[in-house]
Amino acid sequence: MAKAESEHEGPVVERMLLFTDAVVAIAITLLALELPVPKGRTNAELWHAALEARPEYKAFLISFVVIWAHWSAHRKVFRGLRALDRNLSALNGLWLLMVVLIPFATKIIAGDGAFQLRFGFYALIETVTSLLFLLMAWHVRRAGLAAEGTPPERFTESMLRSGAIAACFAVSIPVAFAGEWAYLCWIAAVAVTRLATRVTQRQVQPA
How large is the average pLDDT for residues 10-38? 90
Q: What is the pLDDT of residues 27-79, one digit of tens each?
A: 999 998 888 888 888 899 889 988 888 889 999 999 999 999 999 999 988 88
Judge whether 1 lies within some domain. no
Judge whether 117 lies within some domain. yes
Amino acid 125: pLDDT: 97
Amino acid 196: pLDDT: 66
**Alpha-carbon dihedral 144, 128, 29, 84, rounded to 10 degrees:** 20
User: What's the rounded Cα separation, in Å, for the pair 13 and 84?
Assistant: 6
In angstroms, the Cα distances linking 55 to 10, 67, 114 are 44, 18, 14
Judge whether 79 lies within some domain. yes
Judge whether 121 lies within some domain. yes
What separation, in Å, do the N-terminal and C-terminal C-alpha atoms of the chain show? 30
Judge whether 84 lies within some domain. yes
Host domain of residue 196? 8-204
Judge whether 82 lies within some domain. yes
Judge whether 108 lies within some domain. yes
**Looking at the predicted structure, is the pLDDT value of residue 204 above 70?**
no
How large is the average pLDDT for residues 183-199? 78
How large is the average pLDDT for residues 1-14? 62
**Looking at the predicted structure, is the pLDDT value of residue 102 above 60?**
yes
Judge whether 3 lies within some domain. no
Q: What is the pLDDT of residues 113-141, one digit of tens each?
A: 899 999 999 999 999 999 999 999 999 99
How large is the average pLDDT for residues 94-112? 94
Closest-CA residue to 74 (of 32, 123, 31, 130): 130
**Looking at the predicted structure, is the pLDDT value of residue 111 above 50?**
yes
pTM, entire model:
0.86
Amino acid 119: pLDDT: 95
Our count of domains for the chain comes to 1
Q: What is the pLDDT of residues 150-164, one digit of tens each?
A: 888 888 888 988 998
